[in-house]
Amino acid sequence: MRKSLILLAACVLTLGAAAQQQNDEEGQRYWRQTHHMRDASRMHLGSHIAKAPAPKDAPAPKHTTGMPQGNYWFPGEWEEVQAIVVTPYYNYRPDSAGFTNMIADPMVTGVAAYYANYYAQEPSAYGPYRSIIDTSSTFAQVSFYLMDAIQLGGAQAWVRVENFDDSTAVLNHLTTMGLRTGNIRFIEAPGNSFWYRDCGPICFYYGEGDTVGMLDFEYYPGRALDDSLPVYIERQIGLPNFTTQIEWEGGNCLVDGTGMVFSSDAIYKNNRDTYGQLTWDGSDVSTISYTHKRSLTKAQVRDSLAELIGTRATYILPAFQKDGGTGHVDLYADMIDENGFVFSKMPDDYYQWIDYKTGRKNMDSLCSYQTVFGTNYKHRSIPFPSRDNGSNFSSQTQYDLQYTRTYSNHTFVNNVIIQPCFSTVGADGMPTAAWDRANIEEVQRAYPGYTIYCVDVRDFDGSGGAIHCITKQIPAEHPLRILHQSITGNTGNAYNAENAIIKARATNVDGIASITLSYRIGDGQWQTVPMTQGPTCAGSEYEASIPTTGTLSGQYTEVDYFITATSNAGKTIAKPMPATEQSGYYTFYIGENANSGIETAASGEHFGQFYPNPASGEAHMQIELGNGGSYTVSIVDASGRTVHTSGLQASGSIVYTIDASRLGHGQYTVVFEGSQERVVRKLIVQ
C-alpha cells in the first residue's frame, strides 16, 4: 500500500511539473505576443520611461545616410547569399537580489526592466540581467532547424549569441538533434528579441567591385539592443554599415532587385511620432530615456525611401490591419524573381474580412506595375493556411486573437526555401496533416526546383510572423547576376512564326567567361547552345534562340529552358537559380492546343474567354445567358482525362470562375455542354 502511495505521489509530481512547464510555455508565448505588439503599437511609449526634451534649433530631418557614391543596388531575396543571420531563443532573468522570481526584458547594454510575471504590463524595477539559452521548448527548437536549413542551402549561419560561451551549447544541441554544425559563425552581441528581418540590416551592393554594405534603418524605440545588431556585425564581420533615422522594418520591405521597392503605409505611422531610440550614460540607470526625433511627413518618408532603395520605383500601399500589429508585406507577398510575385491568397469565404479586401486590391495594384523590362509583373497564388483541423477560420476575430499564419513568410537560401508549415514534420520532410501537406505541395509547384525545408512554426502563431521574420539574408560576395525577362505560360501562336529569342543580362566583377542556353522542345532531348552578344544586344546583354518554327507541325507543345553563366573566376549560376534538366526551369507553350482529346465545337459568342490566361489563381469568364441556360461543365487535361465535372444553371450576365490553383500545371480544355450547343474554351495553368 505504501509503495502505491509513493507511485501515486510521483505521478502527481510529474503531472504537476508537466503542467507547470506547459503554463510556463504559455506564459512565454503570451510574453512574446504582447511585447511584440506593444512595441509595434507604441502604446508603451511614455508610460514608464521619460523622453528627452526636444533639442533647441534641431536640424531638419535627414533623408540620406551618406550612402556611398556611385551606383548601388539592392538584390532580390532569391539571389545568391553567403549567410543568414539568426539567433537561438533566450530567456532573461533579473540578476539583482530580491528580484530572482521576476522576468527581465533587456533594454540597454546590461540593464533590463523587471516584470513580476509574463502577464505584467508595467515593470517593477530596473537592473542587471542574466541570459539563459533555451534548448528545450518547442518554440526554441525552430531556431536550430533554421541553422540546419541555412547550411543545407550552401550558406553560413551567422548565429547571434549573448556571449561566445553559448556557442558550445548551440553546437552541442545541434549535434544532439542530428543537425548540421559545419558552417556556423557566431556573433557576440546583446539583444532582446529574435525578429532579425526587422532589426537586421537591409544589405546592398555598391562600387565597382560590388562591395556588400548594410543600410541600417531605425528599429522600434525601446529595442535599442536589437537596433544595434548591424553595429556588432560591422565590428566582428567587417561589413560597412550605413545608417538612417528613417524608422522601418525589414518585414515591410519587398524589392525586385532592379530598383523597385514595395512597402505598406505602416511606415508612415512609424515615422510620425517623436520617439527615438533608448539611450543612457552607461552607468546611471535613471538616465535611460528615449531620444527626441523629428516627426516626418508622408512626403518626407516616401522621398527618403525612393532615394535610398526605390530608385526606379517606390510603391506604398495600404497595410493589413489584422496581421498581428505589424502591417508587414512579408505576411502575404513574395517575389520569385524580377518578373513576378507569389501571393498568399485568402479563401473567398473570407471576402468580408478587411484584410481580404486590402490584399486583393494590393495584389491587383502590384500586378499593374511594370518590371524593369517594361512589362507588367506576373503572379501566381499559393494557399492560405487553415486551422489545425484543416477547417477555415470562422471569423477574422478568431484569426486575429491567435494566429498570423501564412505560407509566404519563408526564407530563400540559394536553392533552398525554409518553409513554414503548421503540423508535425514527418520523416520525409513534409508536414503530416493532409491539408497542410497538400498546401505545401502547391507551394512546391509555385517554386519549381527549390528544395523545400519545412519547419513547424505553430508556436509562432500570433507572435507577429514566422520564418522570414526571424532570419536575415547577407548577399554573396562578387555576385554573378543574371537578369532575364522570362517567357512563361505563353499560349496560341506566340512563337509559331519565328524562333523564340532568349535574352539575358549577365554581370560579374571578374567578367563573364561563358553563358549558355539549355532547352528542350516537347519530349525531345535537352540542347545547349552558347549565348552571344548579337547585333541587337547592349552592354552586358546576351542572346540565343530556340528553334520553334514549325515545331511538331504546329501542335500544342511545351518548351522548357534555363540559362547558365560562368565567371572568369569560376563561379557558375543558373537562371532560375535552382534550374537543372530535371526541374526548376522556365516553361512556355507553342502551337495549337491539339492534344486535348476534344474536338473544337461551337464558338458560343455569348461565352467570353478566360482571364487571366495563363492563370495561377482564379480564372474568370463572362457569360451572357439571357433568359437562362443549363450546362454540364467538364475540365479536361492535355491527356484527355476529365479532372472535374460540375453543373451550371443561371440566367442573365454572370462571371464563371475556376480556381486554377487546384489544378496542376499545363493546358486544359473546358467544355460547356448544353442541350442546344457545345462550347469549348482553353485554359493554361502555370
The domain segmentation of the chain, as residue ranges, is 25-56+74-89+134-475, 92-133, 481-590, 618-685
| Cα Rg of the chain (Å, integer) | 28
Hey, what CATH topology would domain 25-56+74-89+134-475 get? L-arginine/glycine Amidinotransferase; Chain A (3.75.10)
At 534 the pLDDT is 78
Report the distance separating Cα 587 and Cα 462, nearest Å: 38
At 498 the pLDDT is 67
At 598 the pLDDT is 38
This prediction has a pTM of 0.83
At 42 the pLDDT is 47
Give the largest CA-CA distance in the chain. 96
Q: Which residues pair with 255 in a beta bridge?
A: 261
Edge-to-edge strand order for the sheet containing 481-483? 481-483, 500-507, 541-546
Condensed to tens digits (0 to 9), the pLDDT of residues 24-46 reads 566 666 666 666 555 554 444 55
Cis amide bond preceding 614, omega within 30: yes
Condensed to tens digits (0 to 9), the pLDDT of residues 265-280 reads 999 988 998 888 888 8
Q: Which string of DSSP letters, residue by residue, matches 249-318?
A: -GGG-EE-SSSEEEEETHHHHHHHS-EEEEE--SS-GGG-EEEE-----HHHHHHHHHHHT-SSEEEEEP
At 308 the pLDDT is 92
Q: Which string of DSSP letters, residue by residue, matches 574-626?
A: EESTT--SSS--EEEEESB-TTSS----B--TTB---BSSSBSSEEEEEEE-T
Residue 161's closest CA among 172, 177, 149, 176? Answer: 172
Tell me the three cell numbers of residue 474. 547577407
Q: In terms of DSSP H, where are the helices of 429-550? A: 434-446
Hey, what CATH topology would domain 618-685 get? Immunoglobulin-like (2.60.40)
Report the distance separating Cα 326 and Cα 398, nearest Å: 18
Report the distance separating Cα 449 and Cα 361, nearest Å: 30
Helix or strand run (H / E) with residue 420 = strand 416-421
Q: Which residues pair with 370 in a beta bridge?
A: 376
Equal CATH topology for 25-56+74-89+134-475 and 618-685: no
At 189 the pLDDT is 96
3-state secondary structure of 643: strand
Q: What residues in the chain have per-residue pLDDT under 50? A: 1-17, 20, 41-44, 56-64, 490-494, 497, 594-603
Residue 301's closest CA among 326, 267, 328? Answer: 267
3-state secondary structure of 423: coil
CB under 8 Å, gap of 24 or more: what pairs does 113-118 form? 113/48, 117/27, 118/27, 118/28, 118/30, 118/31
CATH of domain 481-590: 2.60.40.10
